[in-house]
Amino acid sequence: MLSNLFLLFIEFFKIGLFTIGGGLATIPFLNELAINRPTWITQVDISNMIAISQSTPGPLGVNMATFTGYKVAGILGGVVASLGLAMPAFIIILIISKYLSGFNKKWYVKDSLYGLRSVVLALIIYAVSKIFLISLFNDDFSIKYTEVIIFLIIILIYRKLKIHPLFYIGAGAIIGIVLKLPS
């Protein structure tokens, strides 16, 4: 149990240390975790947690860490994984605020962010493409027609009406329940 907690902390500390760009930027790291530790988290878990995280409070990365930690080691695992994810940002901000006034004005910070934005965007788009495939296609790449129709309808409605995303998330949950009702 203790070794699992230590591994959870280390894995999510690494994710937190190298995640630049917010919650969505954790997705490529979680995909890697799903490959290396499939008993902890799967691609389907990631896809489901992204959907759930959009309808629950809190940052996506922390929600994912909590879910994975809980799955591996219960409540304590959820706490340890979440702390592991948040700890690097906490440490980095403490160091920056204490020692490096004007940090964001330094040329090397600006230049590194210039390059990082494109890299983070590429990683996020790659991760989203995997979620896209899981959500709209079966393992044999045959189309999940109902899901594709829902996807297209939501895009069209969102584009026209610009209703708050929570409406679409709620509607998606209701549609899923109605369409998957036991016969």
pLDDT digits 0-9 by tens, 70-87? 999 999 999 999 999 999
Given a cut of 80, whether residue 1 has pLDDT beyond it is no
What's the chain's average pLDDT? 86
Given a cut of 80, whether residue 7 has pLDDT beyond it is yes
Taking Cα atoms as reference points, which of 22, 30, 15 lies closest to residue 126? 30
Given a cut of 70, whether residue 118 has pLDDT beyond it is yes
Domain assignment of residue 53, given as a range:
2-101
Tokens of 92: 């980095």
Question: In the prediction, which pLDDT does 151 show?
Answer: 93
Q: Do 87 and 18 meet the contact criterion of CB atoms below 8 Å apart?
A: no
Question: What mean pLDDT comes out for the span 34-54?
Answer: 86
The counts of H helices and E strands in the chain are: 7, 0
> 25 or 84, which is more confident?
84
Domain-embedded: residue 129: no
pTM above 0.75, yes or no: no
How far from chain centre, in Å, is Cα 29?
A: 9
> 182 or 73, which is more confident?
73
**CA–CA distance, 64 with 85 (Å, rounded to integer):** 10
Given a cut of 90, whether residue 156 has pLDDT beyond it is yes
Total domains present in the chain: 1
Question: In the prediction, which pLDDT does 183 show?
Answer: 52
Given a cut of 80, whether residue 97 has pLDDT beyond it is no
Domain-embedded: residue 72: yes
- Extract long-range pairs of 73-80: CB within 8 Å, 24+ residues apart: 73/1, 73/4, 73/5, 73/8, 76/5, 77/4, 77/5, 77/8, 80/5, 80/8, 80/9, 80/12
Instruction: With residue 149 as reference, give the H or E element that holds it.
Output: helix 145-161
Question: What mean pLDDT comes out for the span 96-116?
Answer: 75
Domain-embedded: residue 75: yes
Domain-embedded: residue 62: yes
Domain-embedded: residue 126: no
Domain-embedded: residue 67: yes
Domain-embedded: residue 137: no
Taking Cα atoms as reference points, which of 87, 64, 113 lies closest to residue 9? 87
Question: What mean pLDDT comes out for the span 19-32?
Answer: 80
- Extract long-range pairs of 148-153: CB within 8 Å, 24+ residues apart: 150/175
| pLDDT digit string, tens, across residues 166-181 | 788 888 889 888 988 6
3-state secondary structure of 61: helix
